[in-house]
Structure 1
Amino acid sequence: MSIGNSPEDERPFEDGRSSDGHEEEASPSVGRALQQARIAAGLTVDDVSSATRVRIAIVHAIEADDFTPCGGDVYARGHIRTLAKAVHTDPAPLLARYDDDHGGRPAPTPAAPLFEAERIRPERRGPNWTAAMVAAIVAVVGFVGFTAFKGGDSDSDAASQVTQGASPSASKPAAPKPSTTTATPKSDPSDSAIAAAPQDKVTVQVSAVDGRSWISAKDHNGRMLFDGLLKKGESKTFQDSSKVNLILGDAGAIQLYVNGKKIEDDFQPGAVERLTYTKGDPEVG
């Protein structure tokens, strides 16, 4: 118990003043700096969320210096860079301050486990025993029919040999016909099926050329086309009648071809990008 002090005297000092009454000159935190820049730019949290496609709850958390909802240091740095650009401030000092506060620049982290908060988890269903039983029955019936068919062919071949006699020179095997199939040369990604995509559709090819990245793709109705980890060297092609929506977990590792044309955007390693492409692109829709 404090003697001679009121409850007001025991409260922490506010308004950036130390115990001796002097104003502290420490630079603002990352979240506070982003909040001040947003207010100075005359923007609301809703404005920033709409411009960056970062959820409102995550914007509020970052401005409060809570980076837990980001899913890890790599993605927290990507969100800081995105928000800084939206409020017209230099992200470099903010990223340096974040690294100092969190033990230095993080090592690359696998993307798939870190996005569990933003992914829609499918319901876990039990095994479909009915389908398994039907498949087993079909397999047994097919095996029995195949065995009976092969047995009938063997019997008929033996009878034919007895009737005609085993004469090695009776007939000559037919000469194999020369193949008329020509080898199709491999083409670059820009010359593949994506380049021949119909003009009335939008076609997007995603290639992990510089590393692996989690990606999500939806059509214009919001139906999930793909949601998973794309390993280095792998590619996925998505097509829709009007629009394809993408989320790239590590945009710096991805190369995009839209409607047969290479996208030249300078995506940064570890940056989270949310993109929409339409039939009139390669400009982002």
Structure 2
Amino acid sequence: MSIGNSPSADRPSVGQAIQQARIDARLTVDEVSATTRIRVPIVHAIEQDDFSRCGGDVYARGHVRTLAKAVGLDPDELVAQYDAEHGGRPAPTPAAALFEAERIRPEPSRPNWTAAMIAAIVAVVGFVGFTLFNDGDESARTPVAQEDPSPEPTDEADPAKPADPKPEPEPSESDSAIAAAPADKVTVKLVAEGGNSWISAEDHNGRLLHEGVLKDGDSKTFTDDKRIDLVLGNAGAVTLFVNGKEVDKVGESGQVQRVSYTRGDPEQG
């Protein structure tokens, strides 16, 4: 179905075009949502030309392009119509300004009173033992004339003394992640590096695990028995570790990407 050659007065809006094409294709909103991974309320809103739930023009254009493909429309023509109806193609903007209210704040750490009390008891017992040992040693000690000065310590190593063992290198972050990833599950870790990104994660049943902004420097980890489905609002700012292995760059800055991962070696969905 093409909408680019229709007169502007008679041409349906973006939402109307998507809705009519879906009906012509005999598809329900639930079926379109399952195919595109766009939630049902957002599909309903777009068909009513309400793009406020998309999170901004960048995400709205991505949803329009995805829905156009699902219902058989030309995605380039429909996105061009959306740009014409909404002031032109937007410049990429960080996701922080759109979702500032969803700032993720780490919980304050609590003091470990048990460890502090144990350390204090050990210090008191050590001081008492040291005092008793010094008193007994002073009473048994008799003055003697010092004949030869004690030899000065040298830097030469004592051959009878074993050399200090070399410290083993600590495992890197990716090595630790590989060791910690269970083999019978799919584990996905997202780290925001160089910017913020709106993210959405669902399990293999379509249940929403998380939706919101991943701030620069923060991370999120998701686990499921079969599959994890992700939507990355700013793919270029997100680094992925899937089943303990770092995944190559999945997108550019400002680009919306949808990926899925299962158990075993990571494969982009």
Instruction: Report the TM-score when normalising by structure 2.
Output: 0.64
Identify which range, 42-51 or 193-202, moves more after superposition.
193-202
Report whether the alignment pairs 1:213 with 2:197. Answer: yes
Percent identical across equivalent pairs? 44
Give a deviation string over 1:116-155, Cα, whole Å, max 9, x none.
Answer: 89xxx9xxxxx9xxxx8xx686477446525523532542
Paired with 1:157 and 1:74, the residues of 2 have a C-alpha distance of 75
Secondary structure at the aligned position of 2:59 is classed as helix
Report whether the alignment pairs 1:61 with 2:45. Answer: yes
Q: 2:121 aligns with which of 124, 128, 145?
A: 145
Q: 1:277 aligns with which of 252, 261, 265?
A: 261
Amino acid at match of 1:179: P
For structure 2, the residue ranges without an aligned partner over 5 or more in a row are 1-6
Change (3 A) 1:68 1:42: same
Give a deviation string over 1:1-45, Cα, whole Å, max 9, x none.
Answer: xxxxxxxxxxxxxxxxxxxxxx97453222122223323333222
Amino acid at match of 1:249: G
Report whether the alignment pairs 1:159 with 2:145. Answer: no
Report whether the alignment pairs 1:97 with 2:81. Answer: yes
- Residue equivalent to 1:31: 15
- Residue equivalent to 1:10: none
- Residue equivalent to 1:109: 94
Report whether the alignment pairs 1:179 with 2:154. Answer: no
| Offset, 1:66 | 0.8
| Offset, 1:48 | 0.9
Amino acid at match of 2:166: T
| Offset, 1:67 | 1.0
| Offset, 1:268 | 8.1
Give a deviation string over 1:189-231, Cα, whole Å, max 9, x none.
Answer: 5x77439955433233435466432335566696958975152
Paired with 1:195 and 1:143, the residues of 2 have a C-alpha distance of 32
Paired with 1:47 and 1:226, the residues of 2 have a C-alpha distance of 21
Change (3 A) 1:217 1:54: closer
Amino acid at match of 1:181: P
Secondary structure at the aligned position of 1:155 is classed as helix
- Residue equivalent to 2:228: 244
Alignment of 1:182-193 (within 5 A): 182-183=168-169, 193=177
Give a deviation string over 1:142-186, Cα, whole Å, max 9, x none.
Answer: 465255235325424643663576999499899684233344686
Paired with 1:139 and 1:197, the residues of 2 have a C-alpha distance of 30
Q: Is the 8 A contact 1:111 1:250 kept in 2?
A: no
Secondary structure at the aligned position of 1:194 is classed as helix
Q: Is the 8 A contact 1:112 1:228 kept in 2?
A: no
Secondary structure at the aligned position of 1:214 is classed as strand
Q: Is the 8 A contact 1:242 1:278 kept in 2?
A: yes
Change (3 A) 1:250 1:158: same
Paired with 1:65 and 1:149, the residues of 2 have a C-alpha distance of 75
Change (3 A) 1:227 1:109: closer
- Residue equivalent to 1:200: 184
Q: Is the 8 A contact 2:95 2:213 kept in 1?
A: no
Instruction: Report the TM-score when normalising by structure 1.
Output: 0.61
Q: Is the 8 A contact 2:13 2:49 kept in 1?
A: yes
Q: CA RMSD in A?
A: 4.8
Q: Is the 8 A contact 1:207 1:254 kept in 2?
A: yes
Q: Is the 8 A contact 1:45 1:56 kept in 2?
A: yes
- Residue equivalent to 2:3: none
Amino acid at match of 2:124: A
Number of residue-to-residue matches in the alignment: 245
Q: 2:216 aligns with which of 218, 231, 234?
A: 231
Secondary structure at the aligned position of 2:178 is classed as coil
- Residue equivalent to 2:4: none
Q: Is the 8 A contact 2:190 2:220 kept in 1?
A: yes
Paired with 1:261 and 1:103, the residues of 2 have a C-alpha distance of 39
Paired with 2:126 and 2:77, the residues of 1 have a C-alpha distance of 76
Paired with 1:28 and 1:97, the residues of 2 have a C-alpha distance of 10
Change (3 A) 1:247 1:159: farther
